[in-house]
Each structure stands twice: as structure tokens, then as C-alpha cells.
Amino acid sequence: MNTGILGQRYQADDALGYYEGPEVGHLLLRAFAEAGLDPDALDIDDLASLDEFRALGRAATVALADLASVAPRERVLDIGAGLGGPARFLAARRGAHVTALDATLRFCRAAELLTRGAGLADRVEVVRGDALALPFPNATFDVAWSQAVSQNIADKPRFIAEATRVVRPGGRVALFEVVAGPGGPLRLPVPWADHERESWLMRPEELRALIEAGPLELVAWNLGEAALATIAAAAQTLRPGTGAAALGLKLLMPDFEARMAGLARNVAEDRITLVQAVARRSGTHQ
Ligand SMILES: C[S@@+](CC[C@H](N)C(=O)[O-])C[C@H]1O[C@@H](n2cnc3c(N)ncnc32)[C@H](O)[C@@H]1O
């Protein structure tokens, strides 16, 4: 096992290594220049094709924010925040105060650059850290939020336990996850892995059992088509042209389109599916 970026030992080291690569700041600045965007006056809608770093883009974030009823002034922790697109959305459009935590240094740096450029540094704080050892006291947040991260994490019980620990009683854990389907083993590559050792997909019933085993009450559980329906409805609410065409995840992963095609093939063959889960933390308010 390698030593992780924070000097701790990670079960998910191979997965974290998967996300390492060159710094992205200069790529972003060049792309903004080509797209005619002012890097000091960024519109979060223009960024959505780049900073929603997973399948189904901004619409998936809108759908999860609705399901989790994220409200103004709530304190949200985005676990595995990537470039911080969902965090900025929750701050700018839902009035939340968001902590965007990610383990990958180059993504944290890019998240800070984009957050400053969007004028949201007073409402979005970027923190480098590990989902399995969250650097926050118990009950710090109203919402612990995570999208498309657990597929890179082996220790699912600890992932759920840490998200639950940092939420106050009455707060919510909100997840949008890729999970294993009944159609057979994953076909690689996919956007989160080149090798089997980088991917840990759980079955939906395992995720549900983990949630229900903790001090959490499941309030929304949308699997497969049910999740896709909420995301399709959310997509209708987006401004036409959301996501500047010159930006895109190909800036981070040049072969991203081929990887997305791999993802779509796995979905079509029922090897994977998507789930949205929102659970309320039980216990008394502190
Ligand atoms: C597919 S991206 C999703 C990013 C973001 N949630 C989004 O939806 O735009 C997965 C992210 O999880 C992060 N990640 C993976 N393992 C992690 C861990 N143990 N702790 C914190 N972040 C982690 C990666 O660095 C990467 O930014």
C-alpha cells in the first residue's frame, strides 16, 4: 500500500493515483481565452460542461439539490468535490455555504481558481482532505453531499460513517452514486478507472443496507430509471446552452468522450446503474 497525499494510508490509493496528472490551471485559463470568457468574471452556467465532473452534468446536481431540499444558509460539505462545480451551484443558486473537499491537489487548486473567478470565495471554501478521515468535528454540517466518488473508495462503511458523523441530527446525507448492475462485471475503461483495482462498485442493496444500518432514515431512494427521470426533469429547467462549448471534461481527460461511451455501454448492458439517495440523520439537535 502506498502512502496517500496527506501522509495517511489510503485503501483507495490506486484510485487517487488515477486522478493525478498535470496541473490544470493554465489549461483552464487558455480555454477561457479561447471561449472569450473573463477569468475574473466567470458565470457558473458557462463552466458546467467542465466542472460537473461526472455523468449527467449540472442536471444531476440540480436534481439532487431538489431531492435533498438544500436551503439558503445551510452548511453543505461536498465530499470528493472535484473542480467544485456542484459546490458553486449550491452556493450561487441555493444560497448554501459550501465546503468543497477533495483529495486530489490539482483539482483543489483548479476549484479555488474557478471559485475566485466566479466571485464565490466568500461562500465556497476548498479543502484538501480524505473522505475516509474528514477533517471536521462531529455535526459540523447541515448536509453531507457526494456525487460519483464512492466508486473509487474501497471502504464503503467508513465512507458512509464519515459522511454521517459530520452531519448534525436532523441534517441530511445526499448521494448520487454509480452502483453495480445485474448485467455482469464492469467493462473498462470508464471515466473513473482504467483498471479493476481502481474501481469499487457496490450493489444498490449494499448501499441501502449501509445507510439503513446507521443513524439515518432514508427519505429518498431513486434507482436507475427513477433517478434518470428526476435528472431529465431537472435538465428542462437549465438555461439553454448551459456549459460553454469550448470548455469540457476533455480538458482534464483528453479521452473523456471514449470513457463516457464506455460508461454508456455499461449502463446499456446493465453492468452499472445510478442511484440517488437522501437520508436524514436521527438524534436530537445539538
Ligand atoms: C468523478 S469525480 C466527481 C467530482 C464531483 N463530485 C462532481 O460530481 O463534479 C471523483 C472525485 O472524487 C475524488 N476522490 C476520490 N477518492 C477520494 C477520497 N478518498 N477522498 C476525497 N476525494 C476523493 C477525486 O479526486 C475526484 O475529484
83, 147 in Cβ contact below 8 A? no
Q: Where are the alpha helices (DSSP H) in the chain?
A: 13-19, 25-35, 44-51, 57-67, 85-94, 105-117, 156-165, 204-213, 225-236, 256-268
pLDDT of residue 247: 83
Q: Which residue's entry shows cell 473522505?
A: 131
Residue 5 neighbours by CB under 8 Å, 6+ apart:
16, 103, 104, 105, 128
The CATH number of whichever domain residue 109 belongs to comes to 3.40.50.150
If you take atom 14 of ligand 1, which residue's CA is the nearest one? 80
pLDDT digit string (tens) for 47-95?
A: 998 999 998 999 999 999 999 999 999 999 999 999 999 999 999 999 9
4 occurs within a structural domain: no
53, 100 in Cβ contact below 8 A? no
Residue type, 221: W
6 occurs within a structural domain: no
| pTM of the complete model beyond 0.75 | yes
252 occurs within a structural domain: yes
Longest CA span, the chain: 52
Residues with CB under 6 A from ligand 1: 12, 15-16, 19, 52-54, 80-82, 85-86, 102-104, 107, 130-132, 147-149, 152-153, 192
211 occurs within a structural domain: yes
286 occurs within a structural domain: no
| C-alpha distance from residue 211 to each of 53, 140, 141, 181, 221 (Å) | 24, 19, 18, 19, 11
149 occurs within a structural domain: yes
Residue 236 neighbours by CB under 8 Å, 6+ apart:
none
Question: Whole domain around residue 229: which residue ranges?
Answer: 13-281
16, 5 in Cβ contact below 8 A? yes
Query: What is the total count of domains within the chain?
Result: 1
| 52 CA: nearest ligand 1 atom | 9
pLDDT digit string (tens) for 159-210?
A: 999 999 999 999 999 999 999 999 999 999 898 888 888 899 999 999 999 9
pLDDT digit string (tens) for 88-134?
A: 999 999 999 999 999 999 899 999 999 999 999 999 999 999 999 99
225 occurs within a structural domain: yes
| 19 CA: nearest ligand 1 atom | 25
Cα 248–251–254 angle (5° rounding)? 110
5 occurs within a structural domain: no
pLDDT digit string (tens) for 230-262?
A: 999 999 999 877 777 778 888 878 788 888 899
| C-alpha distance from residue 176 to each of 123, 173, 206, 220, 272 (Å) | 23, 10, 15, 11, 13
Of the candidates 29, 38, 1, which has an alpha carbon nearest to the alpha carbon of residue 16? 1
pLDDT of residue 16: 59
